[in-house]
């Protein structure tokens, strides 16, 4: 098939662009070196936010755009993006006193005008403690309560963009690494791609190529023949700790000022656990090899323990650690936190006309970024395309009211209420397809864990582009991000593979090893530190 555009990178930006481009009528192929959403898009704070702190850098346009997109995502993906209350405690002597916080909140509300989430409220210390009983009381003078949103599983948001792109005619190829860009007479002609498993190389041709490879953007550009362009990305790594749900932190997130350096940081209720993040450290190494430093882990633990002193936060409390590299615009000499989170798109018209690179951006603004990119692509195509519809068209699992669907899953498929409600939380209305599988083949209703079923394994391979069991557990069922990193689900999932997908012992062995290697990388910084402490 002849393609109009090749998209390199299956994170939120690449898949968002694929969806938009395919919906408008472009012939699209997306190439991703691993599974979809294996990099920055998943290792984020998982917030869909206006960016309160960008107000300090006077980035009003970015805040306004982010708030508008927050509203759009709440509407097109209500099953994945939920309102999240956040408390901003103000302590005596903090850099940002009550007046500064109140002024910031007022401006944030002003920029949010017309949006669905409630305006902020200022609370006195007693009311703040009533809302969040575990919060340190010493020196607490006030707090602001406001709302943003959370995407619990960006992995699923990315996947739903994949599914929508596919439904609109795009071809999506995970586990296909672009080795180099092909250029002739100053114009991009396509790419050479390799299947990392078989080593087989393939040439894919198109007059337009979008480099949406996130922190790998410069590495891909390095494959351009001739002159090496100046770096576009200045990577910044950010680490998060996952601990059990903190006693006294409730369902409200805490957005506080770090005692050590005044940086804003979050303690967020997430997936039945708590997410503590994040750091912001310049990083120029290989994005695939990034790891958390011990100092980052200590910093996050100390800051969270200072805010929640009774929570008993020590190294032993850390379930796992994840780290991602922000693909920020290169800005030599600038303080990390001051580097803009705005996105921009670079057309390499002088060296490879038709090649576009995506720089920066946020999960929150991916849809708008995609619209911008596809507007530019559309100008290069000599035929009429449909207008952008991604702000109006809901994503495939979108469901406004899951309650009737839960009843249907319980009554028709015979699922336990806990399983029905978890399926709806993860898959939205796509949970019905899993219910149908169970209805047809009752053995697929066998439990993997208390609230998950074998049908999810079959569904992921048959309908959700999964290639490995690690893909399924980490980025489809989301069981791999539970407190035990999916350990309880592993053997039942392998048994489901053997029974329903015909896996032999050798295949089960390979799948087990791959999965364990992936989860070991999340445990590893904690384990390494434990080793060091024992020595
Ligand atoms: C610590 C941290 C916290 C963040 N928190 C938030 C937040 O709360 N809210 C928010 O809105 N944003 C947040 N962000 C920003 C947001 O996560 C990123 O801007 C966004 O995910 C970038 O998406 P992407 O698709 O460009 O990159 P990625 O998700 O990294 O995707 C790029 C993809 O390209 C693939 N690729 C690379 N090279 C090749 C190749 N040669 N061939 C084929 N494929 C290739 C990679 O495998 C990868 O899957 C955060 C970022 C970090 C690091």
Q: How far away, in angstroms, is 150 Cα from ligand 1 center? A: 17
- pLDDT for position 407: 95
120 lines ligand 1 (CB under 6 A): no
Residue 413 and residue 275 share a domain: no
**Do 238 and 226 share a structural domain?**
no
DSSP state of 313: -
Q: Give the pLDDT confidence score for residue 227 in this predicted structure.
A: 62
Query: Which domain does 131 fall in, by range?
Result: 81-149+234-331
In a domain, 392, yes or no: no
According to the model, what pLDDT value does residue 228 have? 66
Q: Best mutation site among 214, 283, 291, 321 for ligand 1, i.e. most ligand atoms within 8 A of its Cβ?
A: 214
Q: Which of 234, 362, 365 to mutate to test the pocket of ligand 1 (most atoms within 8 A of CB)?
A: 362
- Examine the domain organization and report whether 143 and 291 are in the same domain: yes
For ligand 1, is residue 279 a contact (CB within 6 Å)?
no
Report how far residue 468's alpha carbon sits from residue 320's, in angstroms, rounded to the nearest whole number.
22
- Residue ID of nearest Cα to ligand 1 atom 17: 41
Characterize 473-509 residue by residue with b for buried, 16 or more Cβ atoms within 10 angstroms of its Cβ, and e for exposed. bbbbbbbbbbbebbbbbbebbbbbbeebeebeeeebe
Closest CA to 264 of 244, 278, 246: 278
Look at residue 91 and tell me if it is in a domain.
yes
Domain annotation covers residue 166 = yes
Residues 372, 450 within the same domain = no
**Residue 533 located in a structural domain:** no
279, 415: one domain: no
Residues 418, 509, single domain; the answer is yes
Q: Which residues contact 334 (CB under 8 A, 6 or more apart)?
A: none
Q: Does one domain contain both 89 and 163?
A: no
Q: CB of 112 closer than 6 A to ligand 1?
A: no
Q: Both 431 and 356 in a single domain?
A: no
Cα-to-centroid distance, 263 and ligand 1 (Å): 22
Could you tell me if the CB of 188 is within 6 A of ligand 1?
A: no
Give Rg (Cα) of the chain: 23
E strand intervals along 64-186 = 81-91, 121-124, 140-151, 171-173, 177-184
Supply the CATH number for residue 30's domain.
3.50.50.60
What is the reported pLDDT for 332? 67
Residues 262 and 197 in one domain: no
Predicted pLDDT at 95: 85
Give distance in angstroms: CA of 535 to centre of ligand 1: 36
Number of Cβ within 10 Å of residue 392's Cβ equals 9
In a domain, residue 117? The reply is yes
- Please give the distance, rounded to the nearest whole angstrom, from the Cα atom of residue 220 to the centre of ligand 1: 15
Is the CB of residue 361 below 6 angstroms from any atom belonging to ligand 1?
A: yes
Structural domain includes residue 188: yes
Number of domains in the chain: 3
pLDDT at 533: 53
27 located within any domain: yes
pLDDT truncated to tens, each residue of the chain (535 aa)? 799 999 999 999 999 999 999 999 999 999 999 999 999 999 999 999 998 888 888 889 999 999 999 999 999 999 999 999 999 999 998 888 899 999 999 999 999 988 899 999 999 999 999 999 999 999 999 999 999 999 999 999 999 999 999 999 999 999 999 999 999 999 999 999 999 889 999 999 999 999 999 999 999 999 998 766 689 999 999 999 999 999 877 799 999 999 888 888 999 999 999 999 999 999 999 999 999 999 999 999 999 999 999 998 999 999 999 999 999 998 766 676 666 778 899 999 999 999 999 999 899 999 999 999 999 999 999 899 999 999 999 999 999 899 999 999 999 899 999 999 999 999 999 999 999 999 999 999 999 999 999 999 999 999 999 999 999 999 999 999 999 999 999 999 999 999 999 999 999 999 999 999 999 999 966 555 555 555 4
Residue of 363, 365, 467 best suited for mutating to test ligand 1, as the one with most atoms within 8 Å of CB: 363
Residues 426 and 510 in one domain: yes
- Number of the ligand 1 atom closest to the C-alpha atom of 213: 34
Supply the residue whose CA is at minimum distance from atom 47 of ligand 1: 33
Residues 324 and 447 occupy one common structural domain: no
Any ligand 1 atom below 6 A from CB of 16: no
Confidence (pTM): 0.96
C-alpha–C-alpha distance, residues 112 and 117, integer Å = 8
The residue whose CA has the least distance to atom 27 of ligand 1 is 214
Tell me: cis bond preceding 228? Omega within 30 of 0 counts: no
What does residue 26 show for φ and ψ, rounded to 5 degrees?
A: -80, 150
Residues 258 and 142 occupy one common structural domain:
yes
What is the structure's pLDDT at 262?
Answer: 86
Nearest protein Cα to ligand 1, atom 52: 44
Q: Is residue 253 part of a domain?
A: yes
How far is ligand 1, taken at its centre, from the CA of residue 41, in Å? 4
Q: For residues 42 and 474, give the distance between their C-alpha atoms in angstroms, rounded to a whole number.
A: 10
Residue whose Cα lies nearest atom 18 of ligand 1: it is: 362
């Amino acid at each position: 098939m002849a393609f109009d555009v090749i998209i390199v990178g299956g994170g939120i930006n690449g898949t968002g662009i694929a969806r938009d481009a395919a919906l408008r009528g472009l012939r699209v192929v997306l190439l991703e070196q691993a599974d979809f959403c294996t990099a920055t898009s998943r290792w984020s704070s998982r917030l869909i936010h206006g960016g309160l702190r960008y107000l300090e850098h006077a980035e009003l346009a970015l805040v306004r755009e982010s708030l508008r997109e927050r509203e759009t995502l709440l509407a097109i993906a209500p099953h994945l993006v939920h309102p999240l209350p956040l408390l901003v405690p103000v302590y005596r002597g903090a850099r940002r006193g009550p007046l500064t916080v109140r002024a910031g909140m007022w401006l944030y509300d002003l920029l949010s005008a017309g949006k669905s989430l409630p305006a902020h409220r200022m609370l006195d210390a007693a009311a703040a403690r009533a809302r969040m009983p575990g919060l340190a009381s010493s020196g607490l003078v006030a707090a602001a309560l406001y709302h943003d949103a959370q995407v619990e599983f960006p992995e699923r948001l990315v996947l739903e963009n994949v599914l929508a792109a596919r439904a609109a005619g795009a071809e999506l190829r995970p586990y296909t690494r672009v080795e180099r860009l092909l250029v002739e007479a100053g114009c991009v002609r396509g790419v050479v791609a390799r299947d990392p498993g078989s080593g087989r190389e393939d040439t894919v041709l198109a007059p337009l190529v979008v480099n949406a490879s996130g922190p790998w953007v410069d590495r891909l550009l390095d494959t351009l023949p001739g002159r090496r362009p100046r770096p576009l990305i200045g990577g910044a790594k950010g680490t998060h700790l996952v601990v059990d749900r903190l006693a006294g932190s409730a369902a409200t997130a805490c957005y506080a000022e770090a005692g050590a350096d005044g940086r804003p940081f979050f303690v967020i209720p997430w997936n039945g656990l708590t997410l503590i993040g994040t750091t912001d450290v310049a990083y120029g190494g290989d994005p695939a090899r990034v790891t958390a430093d011990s100092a980052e882990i200590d910093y996050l633990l100390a800051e969270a323990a200072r805010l929640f002193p009774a929570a008993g936060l020590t190294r032993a409390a850390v379930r796992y650690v994840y780290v991602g590299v922000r693909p920020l615009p290169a800005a030599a000499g600038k303080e990390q936190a001051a580097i803009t989170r705005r996105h921009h798109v670079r057309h390499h018209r002088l060296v490879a006309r038709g090649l576009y690179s995506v720089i920066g951006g946020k999960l929150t603004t991916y849809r708008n970024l995609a619209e911008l990119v596809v507007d530019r692509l559309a100008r290069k195509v000599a035929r009429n395309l449909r207008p952008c519809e991604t702000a109006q068209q809901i994503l495939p699992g979108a469901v406004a009211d899951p309650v009737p669907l839960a009843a249907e899953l319980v009554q028709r498929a015979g699922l336990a209420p806990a399983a029905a409600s978890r399926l709806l939380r993860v898959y939205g209305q796509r949970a019905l397809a899993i219910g149908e599988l169970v209805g047809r083949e009752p053995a697929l209703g066998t439990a993997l864990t208390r609230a998950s079923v074998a049908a999810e394994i079959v569904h992921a391979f048959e309908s959700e582009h999964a290639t490995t069991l690690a893909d399924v557990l980490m980025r489809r069922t989301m069981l791999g991000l539970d407190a035990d990193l999916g350990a309880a689900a592993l053997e039942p999932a392998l048994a489901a593979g053997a029974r329903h997908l015909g896996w032999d012992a050798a295949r089960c062995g390979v799948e087990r090893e791959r999965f364990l290697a992936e989860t070991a990388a999340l445990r590893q910084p904690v384990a390494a530190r434990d080793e060091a402490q024992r020595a």
